[in-house]
Amino acid sequence: MNLATTIITFLFVFGGIVWFHEFGHYFFAKRAGILVREFSIGMGPKIFSRQKNGTAYTLRWLPLGGYVRMAGWGEDENSLQPGQPVGLVLNDAGKVAQINTSSKIQLPNALPVEVTHSDLEKALTISGYVAGLGGNVQTYSLEHDATIIEEDGTEIRIAPIDVQMQSAKVWQRILVNFAGPLNNFILSLVLFILLVFMQGGVQYTNTNTIGEVVADSPAAVAGLKSGDAVLSVDGEKISSWPDLTTIVAKSPEKALELEVKRENEELAITLTPKAVESNGTTVGQMGVYAPLKTDLASKIIGGFQLFADNSLAIFKALGSLFTSFSLDKLGGPVMMFQYSQEAAQSGLRTVLALMAILSVNLGIMNLLPIPALDGGKIVLNILEGVRGKPISQEKEGLVTLIGFVFLFGLMILVTWNDIARYFFQ
């Protein structure tokens, strides 16, 4: 049951943030007039597909996020090979409306053709030998919105040059590339705000008043109550929540003398903080929470503050990679699985917190100016805008390939390091 819960949590967290990232690309590509040939939920072999408004919506077996396939973007393929057998379905005007390249699907009204030449982007023609028509090459024109059935049976639109990524304006391409990380930021912010609402409000720390006392904790045993104001600890004046927590953290299993004000009465209470492990260090814990601000504005502002704090922490972590690089500072799917296991054991709030942190992490990492990442693509878009002309596809492809090889190699090293830490330590 624990393993099943962990797997479900991992798929929910990892799949959710990746799907939301890809949906950002999808939404803004559609708005820019770029053909989205496929939007997939999951990876691997196809379970189901349906084509609507030029996009094939597919469901695939591996529920690990998904992907969006835009015309002329990334590894999108839009060609047929000489000698390739295909079936062509013609419309009433004699133009090709459908190209079948799959051996799994038979179209009874399709012309069997052995391709000699094709241009699915500009001329929109396909030439080849037609069975039963002798040895002459026949050439057919394609409908602009013709579809092609791929080997796995997925039917997608062909991608004429006017609906490809590079035909959109530079600012539109920048927005499409930025939209994935933007969606991750939006998801993270919404989840942090939701967490504050689930918590009941945002902690107010500029006070010495206790908000909640945990049952059976050292504070409860000592007689502290919600609403008590801690005036001093061992004679040291307390004016804010950090003042209190700092002293308590430094005093595990040490008796502390607290001066407490309860309504109009001042009390002397002896409390011994419990010793707990935190990041490899033993600290004291008394079992109290700061009071909460419960008004709507405070909750929303609190969500924004959590988002900002976690974003800043990620930037600091990135900075430390440049000053003292270590694979232990990076994590891949194996580490995410481990975090999912810990979160699943702690409950829904911890799962949502993990999802929020990983989502903003994914957004920031994808904006790094590394070829093959969204940030690298944005840099190329900006360079094109400055130069006033596009970078050659050969150069862009080479730069992207270098970035992909770098990221793939780093992913292998990080994954191996995660496996070593997770299974052998």
Residues 30 and 69 sit within 8 Å (Cβ to Cβ)? no
pLDDT for 87: 95
Helices (H), 134-233: 170-199, 218-222
pLDDT for 7: 82
Alpha carbon distance 118, 62 (integer Å): 34
**Tokens found for residue 9:** 């949590």
Report pTM. Answer: 0.81
CB-neighbour burial class of residue 160 (10 A; exposed 0-12, middle 13-18, buried 19+): buried
Half-sphere exposure in the Cβ direction for 292 (13 Å, CA): 16
Query: Which CATH class name applies to 205-290?
Result: mainly beta
DSSP summary character for residue 110: P
Domain with CATH 2.30.42.10 in the chain: 205-290
User: pLDDT under 70 in the chain at which residues?
Assistant: 1, 74-75, 321, 325, 327-329, 331-332, 334, 393, 418, 421-425
Backbone angles phi, psi at 200, to 5 degrees: 100, -5
Alpha carbon distance 89, 108 (integer Å): 9
27-57 pLDDT tens trace: 999 999 999 999 998 888 889 899 898 899 9
pLDDT for 418: 66
pLDDT for 44: 86
Which residue among the candidates 22, 38, 150, 155 is catalytic per the annotation? 22
pLDDT for 323: 75
pLDDT for 422: 66
* Strand spans (E) along 241-397: 256-262, 265-271, 274-278, 281-285, 288-289, 292-293
Pairing relationship of beta strands 202-203 and 292-293 according to DSSP bridges? antiparallel
Verify whether residue 22 is a known catalytic residue.
yes
Residues 138 and 125 sit within 8 Å (Cβ to Cβ)? no
pLDDT for 222: 93
pLDDT for 421: 67
pLDDT for 113: 94
Residues 187 and 359 sit within 8 Å (Cβ to Cβ)? yes
